[in-house]
Every structure is written in C-alpha cells, then in structure tokens.
Amino acid sequence: MQYYEMRSMPSNPESPSESKTQAGSQTLLRGLDVIEAVVDGSISLADLAQRLDLTRSTAHRLATALVERRYLNFVPRIGYQFGPKLLELGFLAQQQTDIVQLARPHLEALAAKTEDTVHLGVLDNERALYLDKIPGRRRVEISSRVGDRHPLTSTGLGKALLLDDNEVHWHKLFLEDQASGSPKATWEIWLDRMKNYVTVGRSFDLQENEDYIRCVAAPIRDVSGSVVAAISVSSAAQYMDDARMQSLSGEVMATTAAISADIGYNADTGARRRSRR
C-alpha cells in the first residue's frame, strides 16, 4: 500500500490581491497620519519620524509623495507644511457644505428628545438670522419664523453667536439693540451673565426676547474653530425652570458638537487655535 503525505493548508489563504489591498490601505493611513502631524505647524523630518514611530526613510518616502501631490510643502531649515492642495480641497468642501441640510437630522433628534422647539441661526448684519425651525410637541406658540432676524443681545441664539466676541463689541451691540427697541435690560447684569456663558460654552434667553419664553443655546464651530451658527431649544417658562435649563445645556451642547464635527471642527485643535487669539 502506498502512502501519500498530506500537507496542511491555511484555512483562509490570502490571495495576492488581498495582500496588496491591505498594504495599500496601510500606506494610505500612514500618509494621512503624516498630513495630520502637520496640524500644529511645520515639522522636521526627524520629528515627523519620531512622532509617527517610523523610520526616517519611510517618513521621507511618504512625505515626498505628499509634496509631489501638493498636499504638503517642504521649506528648507523649517520642515513640512500644509500644501496648496489642502487649501483647494478645503475651499471646495466649504462650498459644498449646506449647514441647514447637515444640521437638520440633529435638530429633529433634539426636538423629538426635548419635545421643545429647536432653531438654527447664523449671524447676518448684526442680527441673528433664523435658517431653520423644528416645532416642538408641546402646545407652546413660538412666534419665530424661518427668515426672521432677531437682536443678538436679547436672544439666546444671538448670544451664542457672540461668545467669542470681545466686551467692546458686546457693549456696542447692546446699546444699539436697546436703542432699536429690544426689551429694556441693564448692561452690568447682561455683561455678568454673558461672561458666565462664555465660561460654560452656552447661553440662555431668560424671557428677554419674548414674554414667557425661555431658551438654551450653543454655538456651532467650523474647521477653524470660529462660530458660524448656533442652535437653541425654546419653550414656555413653565417648562423651562432653572433646573431644566441646566440639564438641557448638556444635550444642546452635545448636538452642536455633533454638527460642528460634521462640518470639520476638531475640538482639540480648535481649542488650541482659539487660545492663541
């Protein structure tokens, strides 16, 4: 009787094409790591290799490829910097971004969760322009409409749009709004509240714009960390006591954080950029 030797075969042999795909994915991810390593400013080849735990030759090969494709620039004695291709892509991405369309699912989810009216607005000629409104489930009439322009200093949404501004500009807007018919307010009280809003990252409307209506608002930031829009949750004062407004703050800020991420904001790099201003 003749015996034949049976050689064991791997249960899931990897084809050459799969191996190439995996190697290509790894190279792509490393290339993206190289680009992200330049976020904080120029970086030398030695520092780049050390930060990414790569050999100098591998780091140089990846960076050179990105320079050739204009994603990076190389400046002698300074290092690698962002290249013009990233500026081009960033501009195109911004052009293609529709804040209303991107924010809408988040606004609908927030309105359903809170059962209150949710607004989206932007800054427009020293006013808060309302771009979207999701009515709440409660029988509360909020007079705002899409396309309305409201004072910045008497609305929660408007104050959220101003969180990064300086006190001089606040005072100018406050005086102008008071002169144009905003509900009477005291500058010192308004300023004290505003400083607190800046600290916590959100703002309130304490029946300052419309009788018996209160709201919680927070800003939306773009890739540069700048405030580009804001949202608010509004309801009758009977549903918005101080405790509920505090508890809603986290939900509103989580929603603006999600929208901000959708339009390119990175909380870590954005905070560093704002601290340099």
Q: Could you tell me if residue 1 is inside a domain?
A: no
Q: Residue 145: pLDDT above 90?
A: no
Q: Could you tell me if residue 2 is inside a domain?
A: no
Q: Residue 83: pLDDT above 70?
A: yes
Same-domain pairing of 118 and 184: yes
- Residues contacting residue 20 through CB under 8 Å, at least 6 positions apart: none
Same-domain pairing of 139 and 32: no
pLDDT for the residue numbered 17:
56
Q: Residue 193: pLDDT above 70?
A: yes
Same-domain pairing of 110 and 124: yes
Same-domain pairing of 36 and 143: no
262, 213 Cβ separation under 8 angstroms: no
pLDDT for the residue numbered 13:
52
139 pLDDT band, cuts 50/70/90, is: confident
26 pLDDT band, cuts 50/70/90, is: confident
C-alpha distances in Å from residue 171, one per residue of 176, 177, 202, 238 = 9, 10, 19, 31
Q: Residue 8: pLDDT above 50?
A: no
Q: Which residues of 179-209 are buried (b: 16+ CB within 10 A; e: fewer)?
A: eeebeeeeeeebeebbeebeeeebbbbebbb
Give per-residue pLDDT as tens, 107-120: 999 999 999 999 99
- Of the three residues 92, 123, 154, the one that is the final residue of a domain is 92
Same-domain pairing of 87 and 192: no
Same-domain pairing of 41 and 149: no
6 pLDDT band, cuts 50/70/90, is: very low
Range of the domain at 26: 18-92
240 pLDDT band, cuts 50/70/90, is: very high
62: three-class secondary structure by DSSP: helix
Q: Could you tell me if residue 135 is inside a domain?
A: yes
Same-domain pairing of 241 and 132: yes
Same-domain pairing of 133 and 186: yes
76: three-class secondary structure by DSSP: coil
Q: Could you tell me if residue 4 is inside a domain?
A: no
What total number of domains does the chain contain? Answer: 2
For residue 246, how far is the Cα from the chain centroid?
Answer: 22
Give per-residue pLDDT as tens, 256-276: 999 999 988 988 766 555 555
Task: Identify each DSSP E strand in the chain by its residue range.
Answer: 72-75, 79-82, 117-123, 128-134, 149-150, 203-206, 213-221, 227-236
Structure tokens at 58: 């591998």
Q: Could you tell me if residue 253 is inside a domain?
A: yes
Same-domain pairing of 172 and 55: no
- pTM of the shown model: 0.68
Q: Could you tell me if residue 3 is inside a domain?
A: no
- Of the three residues 68, 92, 116, the one that is the final residue of a domain is 92
- Of the three residues 92, 125, 145, the one that is the final residue of a domain is 92
270, 201 Cβ separation under 8 angstroms: no
Same-domain pairing of 45 and 72: yes
Q: What is the CATH number of the domain that holds 131?
A: 3.30.450.40
Give per-residue pLDDT as tens, 33-64: 999 999 888 999 999 999 999 999 999 999 99
